[in-house]
């Protein structure tokens, strides 16, 4: 069950603050090595003392990141006092802040987190504690609301997140107010330094802190508490929607090598919130950094036959009842002869085309049904199981295997070529038309394997097969072609 939403009420006694931090740190392992980020300000100073009191079993290391953006001599003197009083090691790390289009605040934050993660690694810690409070949470909600954020953005700062694959970031004070922490420091006689940027009207967060929140105080009695509760509620809603989207993705998304395919019909049935999350999650699989809401909108707005290039060398297309997301081009796979028996690996889709004969040993990874007779004239192709994830968009599992007769030619596996044609029950047709009618998305057509006998297309796994080959294979089967996973 979830705990109480929002922060502790204002004016709570010292013991309640210690208890709140103790409860917040309950998930931290006993005697764990932990980095405490300190700046000399009130929040991080209170963090160091409250954590030290709440969890005296932890191996704490104070780390101060110096950005070099202003004179911090006063902060350094205060930090020396606290390190000596607490008896804890203090490490100072200097970083260069170089804005790259995101602004000085964002650049400084990224440099700080990178330095903290490195310091944690050096001391053997897997957790970094920072002093963000309920007030910081409220300010973050307002800053994001001013940018037109959605439910995810209103969730603001989670109590815990990853800095990298090994180091976690934890906010034990997120349920406490800045005024409560300052009252605690005053009662304990602990010095701290106010960062001048906290009152700088050129800093957006400073404007929210000193202008917007006080104005909201005239509307509601406790804007910090209300906004922090809003963050908790929004984050819970966002997590529930993410879980629902993940459930939809598990059965909706067809993965063909680097291409992700989404059926338009299934997407259309979803509420917009889930539809957007599914697309966003697919983009996250393919990109190292998240894209904004605009990229998701562009994917969802694509008309059939259209395409749009997104950041990170990713293209989205629509057509044939499918929406695809993946690289704009896939490296060609060379044509490879397919011996019978034998196999060819087709790496672009993570599969192999396997040719089975009566002599093939099915006791290994092909085992899936009937054991073959060893008499050629009586052989019945075995029921080999084809992994469902290998069936292409628009294809069927029934077309994922093909029986061959005795007079098949020299087979090869290759990519489709201009002018390819295939004999169907309705006559010989252009292969491109057959693939379009089947609904195989264009990006998948470019990487899907074709089994051919010279210029004659014998089989397009999951989609179509040469009608004469099908007839001969049914009358007197001598081999079976089947798609299997390459891993």
pLDDT tens for each residue of 395-422: 999 999 999 998 888 999 999 999 999 9
Q: Tell me if 240 is assigned to some domain.
A: no
> Per-residue pLDDT tens for 164-173?
989 999 999 9
In this structure, are 340 and 452 located in the same domain?
Answer: yes
53 and 163 both lie in a single domain: yes
Residue 238: inside a domain, yes or no? no
pLDDT value for 115: 96
- Per the domain annotation, does 291 fall within a domain? yes
Residue 244 lies in a domain: no
Per-residue pLDDT, 3: 56
Kindly tell me if the per-residue pLDDT of 341 is higher than 70. yes
SS3 485: strand
Tens digit of pLDDT for each residue in 264-288? 999 999 999 999 999 999 999 998 7
Q: What are phi and psi of 202, to 5 degrees?
A: -85, -10
Residue 433 lies in a domain: yes
Kindly state the tokens that stand for 356: 């089975």
For 142, the domain range is 14-233
- Total of domains in the chain: 3
Residues 77, 152, single domain; the answer is yes
| Pairing assessment for the beta strands 322-326 and 259-263 based on DSSP bridges | antiparallel
pLDDT band at 373 (very low <50, low <70, confident <90, very high): very low
Same-domain status, 299 and 421: no
296 and 346 share one domain: no
In this structure, are 56 and 139 located in the same domain?
Answer: yes
Whichever domain contains 165, its CATH number is 3.40.50.620
Helices (H) and strands (E) in the chain, counts: 16, 22
Could you tell me which residues come within 8 angstroms of residue 365 by beta carbon, excluding any fewer than 6 positions away? 484
Report phi then psi at 80, rounded to 5: -60, -40
Query: Does 271 lie in the same domain as 137?
Result: no
Statement to judge: residues 288 and 343 lie in one domain: no
CA distance 301 to 318: 9
- Model confidence at 372, pLDDT cuts 50, 70, 90, reads very low
């Amino acid at each position: 069950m979830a705990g109480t939403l929002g922060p502790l009420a204002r004016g709570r006694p010292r013991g309640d603050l210690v208890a709140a931090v103790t409860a917040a740190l309950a998930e931290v392992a006993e005697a764990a090595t932990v980095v405490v980020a300190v700046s000399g300000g009130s929040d991080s100073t209170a963090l160091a003392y409250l954590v030290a009191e709440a969890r005296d079993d932890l191996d704490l290391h104070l780390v101060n990141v110096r950005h070099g953006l202003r004179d911090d001599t006063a902060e350094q003197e205060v930090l020396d006092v606290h390190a000596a009083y607490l008896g804890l090691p203090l490490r100072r790390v200097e970083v260069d802040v170089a804005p790259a289009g995101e602004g000085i605040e964002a650049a400084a934050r990224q440099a700080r987190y990178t330095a903290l993660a490195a310091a944690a690694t050096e001391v053997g810690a897997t957790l970094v504690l920072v002093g963000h409070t309920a007030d910081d949470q409220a300010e973050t909600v307002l800053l994001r609301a001013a940018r037109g954020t959605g439910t995810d953005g209103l969730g603001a700062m989670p109590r815990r997140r990853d800095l990298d694959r090994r180091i976690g970031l934890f906010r034990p004070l997120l349920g406490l107010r800045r005024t409560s922490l300052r009252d605690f420091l005053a009662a304990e006689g602990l010095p701290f330094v106010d960062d001048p940027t906290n009152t700088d009207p050129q800093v957006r967060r400073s404007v929210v802190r000193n202008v917007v929140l006080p104005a909201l105080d005239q509307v509601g009695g406790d804007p910090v508490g209300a906004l922090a509760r809003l963050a908790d509620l929004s984050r819970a809603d966002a997590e529930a929607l993410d879980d629902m989207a993940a459930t939809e993705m598990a059965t909706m998304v067809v993965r063909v090598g680097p291409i992700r395919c989404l059926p338009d019909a299934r997407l259309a049935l979803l509420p917009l919130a889930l539809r957007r999350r599914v697309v966003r999650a697919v983009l996250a699989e393919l990109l190292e950094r998240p894209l904004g809401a605009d990229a998701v909108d562009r994917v969802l707005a694509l008309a059939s036959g259209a395409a749009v290039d997104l950041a990170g060398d990713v293209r989205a297309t629509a057509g044939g009842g499918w929406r695809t997301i993946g690289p704009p081009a896939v490296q060609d796979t060379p044509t490879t002869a397919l011996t019978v028996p034998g196999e060819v690996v087709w790496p672009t889709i993570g599969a192999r085309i396997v040719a089975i004969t009566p002599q093939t040993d099915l006791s290994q990874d092909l085992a899936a049904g009937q054991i073959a007779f060893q008499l050629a004239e009586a052989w019945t192709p075995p029921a080999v199981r084809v992994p469902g994830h290998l069936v292409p968009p628009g294809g069927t599992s029934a077309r994922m295997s093909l029986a061959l007769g005795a007079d098949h030619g020299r087979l090869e596996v290759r990519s489709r070529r201009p002018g390819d044609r295939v004999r169907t029950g309705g006559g010989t047709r252009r292969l491109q038309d057959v693939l379009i009618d089947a609904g195989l998305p264009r990006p998948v057509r470019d990487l899907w394997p074709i089994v051919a006998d010279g210029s004659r297309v014998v089989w397009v796994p999951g989609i179509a097969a040469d009608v004469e080959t099908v007839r001969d294979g049914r009358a007197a089967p001598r081999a079976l072609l089947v798609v299997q996973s390459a891993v």
